[in-house]
Structure 1
Amino acid sequence: MNIFKKIKAGALQYVLVISVIIAIIIFAFISLIYLQQRLTIKHNFSKEAISNTIAVFDFIKIKEFPYDKNSTIEVLENEHTNTTFQKKHWGIFDIGVATSTVKNEFFQKVALLGTQKKQRDALFLKDNNTSLVLVGKTKIVGNTSLPKQGVKTGNISGVSYYGNRLIYGQQKQSSSNLPKITNLESLKTFSQQIQSNEYANFELEEGLKLHQSFAKEGLLYQDNNSIFLQNTRLTGQLLIVSKSKIIVSASATLKNVILIAPVITIESNTKGNFQAIATKKILVEENVHLEYPSALVVIHKDTHQIQSQRTNQVKELNSIKIHKNTVVKGVLVYQSDNIQSNFDAQIQIAERVTIVGEVYSSKNIELLGKVYGSVYTNNFIIKKSGGVYVNHIYDGEINISKLPEQYTGLQIDQSSNQVAKWVD
């Protein structure tokens, strides 16, 4: 009996096809498992890179970092991980850039930085041997630092104080010096000595829409003449500098940019989020809404108003003037090197104006509106019925309880340590 039989060629081909199909399926299965493993590893690396950058911004709350230098941070003991942090000045705020590389995975986060305090006082009034006088519907809510003469009620043109209490909070004695803004000198340098080689130039024209990432090189536009911003949309790391004047129209949309000029005017109905840094004057017209974290800053070397005996002309007052129905979320700063006293208000906050943040003046403030946050000042000034009233507040409100807990602002007596806003 013959146990060997002939197998037809077609059957062999069928077996061969089945074997190839099985091999392909096995190969595809192995490839799928390998790809899944690679994707899982890649995903884990990406998660680690993201986690590292977030951890950096938690780390900076407790550690100081030098400016304009890449600092390496060991978030985890992993030889395949490289995490760095860089801090640089951006007006009154700082920019923090955290970068993490895990193997070939890269992630970066950028933020505007300021200072966050657990305990904020409503008012610091420099001790000039003059008491604080409250008139009308004035209300101060929060802890205060006041001159040794304290606080009392007053009367202006027949209007007395209407409150039940003078200060809705604890009182302590202030000193003859205002708290220091830590980065004030760097702000002066930033605004007065802009180095063109640190920025690439761009052309500014009506209708321009431009975004520049803070992770890249900053862009600069300079002009000796006045600059009128209208029908433009500018966001990101952009500097606009005029040696004369900058006017912001309501048709312009500005986000996170910085304006620098001797005089800056923000026209009625403007909305945005930016920093305006002037050497003489900032004028904010009615119905303006500046979102957080905005900044209006005047830094002037000599604000003493000199009346010429020959011409009988008075120089224009250097000031920040904010008109009615305006909201500013951020900081107002007026800083003067002049030590002479005067009876003008260098920061003027009109009726129906709301400031959410901080107001700082090395000279005088006229407060007729509301500050939901903190005020630091040399004096208050009110001009009513032909009279000048020193250290009087008339119908103004300072209320620290209405400042959001997450608010991050001026570097008062310490450096930046908290995220004010995430940017790109």
Structure 2
Amino acid sequence: MPVVREFTLPDLGEGLTGAEVVRWMVEVGEVIAVDQAVVEVETAKAVVEVPCPYGGVVTALFGAPGEEIAVGAALVTVAVSPGEGGPAVSAEVERPLVGYGVAEPDRGSRRRRVGVSVPAAVAAPVAAVAAPAVTAPVAPVVAAAPAVMAPVVVPVISPLVRRSAREHGIDLTVVRGSGPDGLIMRADVERAVAAKAAPAAPAPAAAAVPADGVVPLRGLRRAVAEKLTRSHREIPAATCWVDADATELMALRRQLNAAPGPRVSVLALLARICTVALARFPELNSSVTEDGSGILRHSSVHLGFAAQGERGLVVPVVRNAQELSTEQLGAELGRLTETARAGSLTPAELTGGTFTLNNYGVFGVDGSTPILNHPEAAMLGVGRIVAKPWVHQGELAVREVTQLSFTFDHRVCDGGTAGGFLRFVADCVEQPGMLLRQL
């Protein structure tokens, strides 16, 4: 006889306590394989797909799209037949997922069961199995939240019909079947798709009524807001800046890109300068301990940089940047930038930075005083590189000039150290040959 297994939201790492349901990738009544992705969730770090360690028939889904699920709270229940659905798993301990940790279930977490359909072919056996293990515990919660629908039986047998409906966003509970006993056929779904695509009749004009709207802070946006608020509250930050003549740096870039091989970006050159500067001023590659009693010096430079993704501004991290050549830095920066644009950065790629490079010049601005990326102690900002009148070798000339700004945690160093770091960076921008001394 099938045994119902409950799969809870695993610990997604980096201190995350929950995730928001983006979309379900399976339905109640669907047969799934071991480690098949069942739901897409958005954490404070990234959007990830969560695989289920059980194989069998899905009997219940918990959490509607947009709802926050706590780590350890129920996600799905699966009816697993004896001898199937992967290795034996005890009721108390789940098999850990590759890439995720395991957290103790939070028995006090809210559990909402999504109103979804159950195919007629599996409704009877699922009900028999789930009655003692699933229905009874959920009943009080459903009574307390009447807005949540109870499961509705829909007469569909063909998984192809169900997939077609899912791909076209068709709710099978409102489709009238033309088959025997109201069975929903492929033609029924196709008619529903055609009706959905048909242009709606124009609605009568109505007077525009101004209304205030509240956009909820969720997922990444909420995490950013919380982190910036904490940084502004806890870190006594100061900023210094200097204008630098980047003409020679741009000439070096053109020279490098004229040779065969991968193209070198300005960001890669700036990243290389940062790793050299941090080797010279290691106290800036640090962070203050959680209790504020000490300063933690980092032996490796995990270089974060600002990148615009579909979920907003994110800060991917280049691990062990000090060990990479300029070409390797460029390749990794390019890979992470493309991944950010696709919205598929992993939590590991968005955490653990020790120093941030912020190239806000791509937005066409000259300067900025950014808030530090807590708990990091320093951030270098680079404005746009633009032609300006400049005194060069005693004469007025048109040069390519940029503004460099440096924001730092005043607890880890004084102004002399911060000024020394920024001046060294500016010297490397103006005379990139200086980097040869550090190689």
* TM-score, normalization by structure 2: 0.20
- Name the structure where strand makes up a greater proportion of residues: 1
- Name the structure where helix makes up a greater proportion of residues: 2
Structure (1 or 2) with the larger CA radius of gyration: 1
* TM-score, normalization by structure 1: 0.20
